Amino acid sequence: MPELPEVETTLRGIEPHLLNQRIARVVVRDPRLRWPVPDEVTRAEGQRFVSLQRRGKYLLLKLQQGGLIIHLGMSGSLRILKHPLTPQKHDHIDVELENGTCMRFNDPRRFGAFLWVDGNMAAHELLRSLGPEPLSAEFTADYLYKQSRDRRVAIKNFIMNGHVVVGVGNIYASESLFMAGIHPQRAAGRVSRQRYGGLVAAIRDVLDRAIRQGGTTLRDFVNSEGAPGYFAQELLVYDRAGSDCFQCGAPIRQKVIGQRSSYYCPACQR
């Protein structure tokens, strides 16, 4: 599933090809995504891209008037094609530019989204209640500490809640809790301010490394240059059940927390 680093990598991949370019045509071959692709997406035709941003796992493609919100869902990808090939199965949408370049949206499982926004994108219902970006200055130990008081929810579920902070997916939650030495089932309200400091640093570090390496889990992305977009990140605990902890040698454990597989070291994480 595309996680924050993959979405950020996608943004960086498409931005240089789209910014300031004018859209000639939007071709929707199959509107059946997570929500039906609205007819209004054709309002993009004739308009230039004025900015491209990421918010959580949403891509915000702002045009002169209105804009597009794209989510890659479970299996979506965007490609930039200089010489568009015949569309294949799952190539649901093409955004054709006046200069002949095409941005193609492919999504085999169709959990992605491709939406039109007339006004202020940040006020869109999908975006307005999102927590801070994990790599922003707003995301601090104090912030997490305050948000977590009286919360009995497991710390792992707490940091994976998009209203608390966006973009901390299952892999990154397991990895950052290991790096911070916090047991994934500890109640969020029982983590000290100081330990939240360590956790904030770990989340930033693990996401930052993934962005630099190009993400970990997306299989279907072909980047703008046509080369494979991602490299596998070295993971400390995720998917290592039974293997030795790199820090102490104890076997890594796996446990389902909040319906997601969680990996941790029972000796290093308290």
Catalytic positions, please? Answer: 2-3, 57, 260
Q: Is 251 a residue that touches Zn ion (CB under 5 A)?
A: no
Q: Is 267 a residue that touches Zn ion (CB under 5 A)?
A: yes
The least CB distance from residue 254 to Zn ion, in Å, is: 14
Residue 108, judged by CB atoms within 10 A of its CB (0-12, 13-18, 19+), counts as: middle
**Region near Zn ion per CB under 5 A, out of 10-18, 49-57, 161-169, 239-247:** 239-247
Q: Is 245 a residue that touches Zn ion (CB under 5 A)?
A: yes
Task: Pick from 85, 122, 248, 251 the residue near Zn ion by CB under 5 A.
Answer: 248
Residue environment code for 41-75, b if the CB has 16+ CB neighbours within 10 A, otherwise e: bebbeeebbeebebbbbbbbbbbeebbbbbbbbeb
Q: Is 191 a residue that touches Zn ion (CB under 5 A)?
A: no
For Zn ion, the closer of residues 54 and 156 by Cβ is 156
Residues near 172 by beta carbon (within 8 Å), at least 6 away in sequence:
3, 4, 203, 206, 207, 210
For Zn ion, the closer of residues 50 and 250 by Cβ is 250
Length of the chain (residues):
270
SS3 5: helix
Cα–Cα dist 90/32, whole Å = 11
The least CB distance from residue 150 to Zn ion, in Å, is: 30
Task: Pick from 42, 161, 247, 254 the residue near Zn ion by CB under 5 A.
Answer: 247
Q: How many CB atoms lie within 10 A of CB 262?
A: 22
Encoded one letter per residue, x for contact with Zn ion by CB under 5 A and - for no contact, window 24-53 reads ------------------------------
Count of positions on this chain that bind Zn ion (CB under 5 A): 7
Q: Is 232 a residue that touches Zn ion (CB under 5 A)?
A: no
Q: Which residues contribute to the site for Zn ion (CB under 5 A)? A: 245, 247-248, 250, 265, 267-268
